[in-house]
Structure formats: structure tokens, C-alpha cells
Chain A
Amino acid sequence: MENSRESLDFSLILASSVHDMKNSVGMLLNSLEEYIHESDETDPAQEKRIATLQYEGSRISGELIQLLSIYRMQDQRLPVQIDENFVMDTFDDQIARNDMLFQTRGIQVDVECDDNLRWYYDNELVGGVIHNILINCARYTREKIVLAAVVENNQLCIEIADDGGGYPSAMIDAPINEDRGVSFESGSTNLGLYFASKVAALHVQNDQCGSISLANGGTLGGGRFIMRLP
């Protein structure tokens, strides 16, 4: 009894500390963006450093947000607000959010989506998933990312593809769940995928439940992240 209370308190402490960290990283990223705006950096080595700062900063920020969301999901305190959204707007938001990152890395982001395509989902959560995947793609792609969305079999199918080396086959084959464990060696917690699968699963309509999957190939020949929402 005593013990469970202690661990409960600790997760609360952790959550509030994560919350603080997230805010601080947000301030760092804001200052960094202002700095990039104001400086006319032409030294390529310096540019690269800035790009690294920005990428790692965004990654920390994204990961902290995920942690908080998962903490709330566990507690069932994560409000899911399913509403009609323009998919294009969701895409635009996430691309704009990471605009600097793509610029500094010289990555071209294309969107293949009907302007008027509307679908029902929680914009905040789905946007968060796209954000994480985009940051991940920015690291592994060569020069191009394609964000695409269509409606297939009464499900919205969002695909984020890159022209990098693709996902390792172990990742593609493994089921995505929380038991998959953390690989400290590879530095990957797969938290992003876990978060994505949770978010997808929160979207339910007529006994159908959202899902995610990974693949390689496609028109760009790199990794493909696919999210289906009923």
C-alpha cells in the first residue's frame, strides 16, 4: 500500500518535471528561431551546428509532449476531441511548425492531398503524431518527404514517406505495443510509434478502430509510415 502510493507520487513528480522541461525547451527553440532569423549565417559548419541544435531540440520537445500525453492516457485524463478537420490544414500546421528544421536541412516537403478533404479526428493528437514522424523523417531522409492523405474503404489513410534508407525490417515486422521494450543500445524507445498507435486506437467509429503500420518502398523508395483513421 505504502509502496504503491510512493510510486504514484513519483510518476506525478515526473510528469510535472517533464512539463517544466517541455516549457524550457520551448523557450530554447523560440530563442533559436529568433537567432536564426536575425543572423545571416553563411558559414556551412555553423549552419550545420544550428541545424543540429534545432533538430535535437525539436526531438526533445516532441518526446516530452508524448510522455505527458501517455501519462494522461494512462490516467484517462487525456481529452479526445474528435471533430471535423481539413486534412490539408493539419498538414500545413505541422509542416509550418517544422519549417526551420526542413530549411536548415535542405529537405523538400511535398503534400498530396485534396484541398477540401475533411475527416473526423482529434487535430491536436493526430497533429502530434505527424509532427513526431516528420522530425524522425528529417533525420533519416535524404532530401524529400511526402505527406499524403486519401480516403480508402471509409478510412482516412495518412502516409508520410521519405527517400531515406527506410525502416529496419525488425521494426516493420514487430507488433507495435508497449511490451516491445526499450532498446537503450540503439537509443530508441520507440515511444513515438507507441504514442502513434495509442492515438490511432483512440479513434473509433462503428466498431472500427484506427491503426498504424510501417513499410518500405513506394514511389520515394524510403520509409513509409501509414496511419488509418475510421
Chain B
Amino acid sequence: MGGMAYSGYQNIKALVVDDFESFRQMLANMLESFGIASIDSAVTGNEVMRWCQEKDLDLILCDYNLGRGKNGQQILEELRHKIILSRKTLFILISAESSKAIVMSAYDYEPDAYLAKPITGKALKQRLDRLLQQRDEMLPIYQAIDDKNLPKATDLLNRQIMAGSRISTPCQKLLGELYLESGQIDLAEDIYRSALQVRTLDWAKVGMAKVRELQGNKGEAKTFLREIIKKNPLCMQAYDALAGIYRKEEDDEALSEILKSAVEQSPMAILRQESLAKHAIKVNDNFTAAQAFRQTVRLGTNSVHDKLDNHIQFGRSTAQLLRDDQSAAVDLSREVIKDLEEVGSRFAMSEEQSVMTLFVESQVLAGQGNTRKAKEVLQMAEEKYSKLETESDLDTDLSMAQALKDTGNKEASDQVLSRLVQEYKNDQSALEKIDPYLDEPISQRNRGTVTSINKRGIGFYEANKFEEAIRCFDSARKLFPNHIGIQLNLVQSIDGELRARGYDKETYYKAMRIIDIVKRNITGDHPQYDRYLQLQDMIGAHSREV
């Protein structure tokens, strides 16, 4: 009885995907013996897309490993992302791994089922019997959802749940989601509560956390989600929900933490890597940003989520890392150069985009110390830039200014920046974007920020709280890496710390590194030039190494 045979095979349209002819044939033979008449086969992702658009498929049996090109998971990703796959199509991933172990929750999308090799005819039949039967029972519900007939969908789902049918659990999950989406929070709560009465299951607890959040009880929602993660570190929905709450609360620190641990658990999920990387940029954590963008670039091969911007950002964050500490980014910078040289073959780039990648490449080369090549690439970029037919983007112009500066042409860089300041003088949000490239910020908001940080830091310094002062100026420096006043304030605080606590190698070197950065930026006519020389001597006096 458990294995009740499915009776509708003659109407099923199936697609078999594998790069081995013999395996495709074997699967096709099995399907044929079940009574399926319409069986097509495909080898590559593109072929799958074509079949999906041509035929209203019921079933896709797809091998995970397809040799070159997209793997089975990436095909599924593209189908779901482009919404080519309808709810009624079953996507079954076949893998030689102990199936879900490698794939489970490590990705952004899950198939309807996993099948482990070796596959026997009888086992496949039983699995399909069950899956297709369940699908058929769900069809009227899917239809109601596709028709946007919510009352009908919830009514059908409730009936299945009341009857305690075989599909009652998937129905509960779906109903809870529908209630949440449609804002019927109390009804959703009922669903999750009754599920939780039977047993603590992750999906119900995550659902309950979402209910609490929507009820305005964020604290309890967070507690629930943290509990789930503690018990089951692989419950990715809990990370995603928790990250959503932190994002709304603008709790940058907690958001960083949760995104980092989510990525640790599911390193293959390109979208999670991307959101970690973008958040890291926001909080000026260049190290994390460069690492995470590196992953988005690596995972982007064959993925529908590959984006040119990820490649550019990978380069930019690495260049920034190099400016800060050359030794930290040796491997990264090598990978960036290789990637940027190949990126043209991966994307159809506009002229401006290719100019942009050249500017970034030049920055990274300069950071590596390869000034000659950096200048060559910059020259190439400038030539292309001069031929651009459309007005260039602020981002492109800023990258140019940075590349000029990195290759030692501060004068030209300053000229570009002053032109930009003039051009955008009435656009505060653009000015805020320009600020980090300037010696002193120019937008009202950032000027205010600098003033208040300085005030706070100086307060700490004067109270001899050097550690706090250092922390304060350090975070300001990340916001405005070219602000000479802030950097000198930081150096002066470190000097205070060294005087108060005595010599410490690491602290001393930190001060020397910052003095080095200032040296590259400052000119003799700068109002703080004398102060810079004085601080350089003061720090130098701490050294015991000859």
C-alpha cells in the first residue's frame, strides 16, 4: 500500500539530462518501462532551457555532474531564477554523492528530490510513484495559487490538513507561507503553533519567528532563530530570516556576524556571498569584502547569478586592501588580475564598463608594485575614456581618479576630483560618494560626521583614554581614508598610547604604516605638514630597534 502505483504515467512529459549517453539511455529505458511515452533528453543547460520553453514538462531527471558547463544545481538555479519552471514540474537531482550531503542547503535553491546513484529501476519507480502522486494532489492548490485565488487555495489546503492526508505536512508548510505573505498573521500563528505542539521542527519554528517579527516582537523572533541555529547550524532559512531582521534594525555588527556564519555553512551559495560582500563594503570591512567577492567570482562561472559588478568590486576591494597593507592581499590581487583579464569573455561589456575594469586593473597593478604595467593599463583606459560617446558615470570617474593617484599622478587625480566636485556641487548624495577620495569631505553630512568624530576622539585623547581615541579615529579613517587630519589624530593617539603603556611593536608599526600613507598624500604646502613632520619624529623616538 505504501508503494501505491501511480496511474498517470502515459500523460507524463519527461526530460532526462546527463552528459553520458549510456546513462541517459538507461534512465530513458526505465521511464519507458513505467509507461511514459514522452521522453526527451538533453546534455547541456541551454538544451534544458529550450525544452522547458518548448514543452510543458512534468518531470526533469538531471544529473548533478554534467562535465563542462553548468552542473545540475546551476541549471535548477537558472530555471527557478528565470521562472521558467512551473510549480508542477518536478526537478529531481541525481548525484553520485551520498546525495544531499554535498548539495543540501549549501545552495540557494533546492530540487524537489535527490536521488543517489546507483539507481535501480524499482527504486526509481517507487520514488516517482510517490512524488507524482503527491504532485497530482497538490495540482488544484497550485492552480489556485497561480490564479491568485487565495481563498480557494487556503480552503483546499485546510481540507488536506483536516483530513490528515499524506500531504498534510507539505500543506501545512505552504499554508503558513501563504498566510504570512498575505498578512494573515494570526492564522499563520495557528498553523505553526499546532505544528509545534507535536514536535519542534525547524520549518515551524522559523515560521513562528516570522510571525513574532510581524507582530512587532523582534526580540522573541531573534531568540527563536538563534535557538534554531544553535541546534541545527544548517538551517539556512533561520540565518536568512535573522539577517533580514538585523538589516531592518540596521544592526550592522550583528548583520556582519550572521552573514559570515551563514556563508561558512553554505559556502556555495553565491547570493549569500554577495550579500556578505556588499554589507562588508558598507561597513568598510575590505578584507571580508574582498574574500566574499572572490567567492562570488569563483562561483559565478556558469551561474545565472554571475554579475559584472561582482568582478569589479572584487578588484576594488582588493585594491583598497593593498593600499592599506600590501602584504595582506598578495594572492587576492593575483586572482583579480587574472579575472579582470578574462572578464571580457564572460560578459558583453559596454565601452564604459570595459574602461571601468581597466581603471580597477590599473589600481590593483599599482598596489602590487607593478607601476609600469599599471601605467600602461591606465593609459589604455584613458584613451578609451576619451572616446566614450556618452557622459561617464561618477563611479567611472572616481575609479579614474583613484588609478591616477595609485600610479603616482596625484596632480591629475586632484584635477579630476575638483572637476567632479564642481560638477556635482548641487548633488549631496554624489558629494558623499566623492568624499572618501578627497583629503577633506565636502558634503554637509560627511563634514558633520568628521567634525563629531574628531570632537569625540579628541575628548578621549584629552582624558588620556588613548585606546578609545584610537578606536574612534580608526573607524573614521576607514570612512575617509584620505583625510589627513584624522590620520594625524590617529597617529597622535597612538603616540599617547605608546607613552602611557610603553613600547609595543605592533602598535608602533601601525603608526608607521599610517605615517607612510600620509607621506604619499601630503605635500609641503599642506597646512598640517609641520604637524606631520613633528609626529613622524615623535613616533620614531619610540622605536628601540636600530
Contact = CB atoms under 8 A, between A and B. Distances in A.
Interface of A: 19, 22-23, 26-27, 29-30, 33-34, 37, 61, 65, 68-69, 72, 78-84, 86, 88-89, 91-93, 96-97, 99-100, 111, 113, 115-116, 118, 120, 124, 128, 205
Given A26-B118, A33-B118, A99-B123, A92 B97 contact: no
A68 B2 contact: no
B199 A120 contact: yes
B96 interface: yes
B56 to A, nearest CB: 28
B26 A34 contact: yes
A72 B166 contact: no
Contact of A29 (B97, B98, B105, B118): B118
Interface in B115-141: 117-123, 125-127, 130
5 contacts: A34-B26, A69-B101, A81-B234, A99-B122, A99-B123
Interface string B78-112: 00000000000000000011111100110000000
Contacts of B123: 93, 96-97, 99
Contacts of A69: 98, 101
Contact of A89 (B2, B26, B199, B201): B2
A150 to B, nearest CB: 15
A115 B165 CA distance: 12
B277 to A, nearest CB: 24
B126 A93 contact: yes
Interface in B1-21: 1-3
Given A86-B2, A91-B2, A79 B100 contact: yes
Contacts of B199: 120, 205
Contact of B201 (A30, A33, A120): A120
A157 B201 CA distance: 20
B528 interface: no
B117 A26 contact: yes
Contacts of A78: 101
A78 B120 CA distance: 25
B232 interface: yes
A93 B116 CA distance: 11
Given A30-B26, A120-B199, A79 B101 contact: yes
Contact of B99 (A72, A118, A124): A124
Contacts of B121: 33, 37
A81 B100 contact: yes
A50 B3 CA distance: 28
A99 B2 contact: no
Contacts of A30: 23, 26, 117-119
Contacts of A118: 169
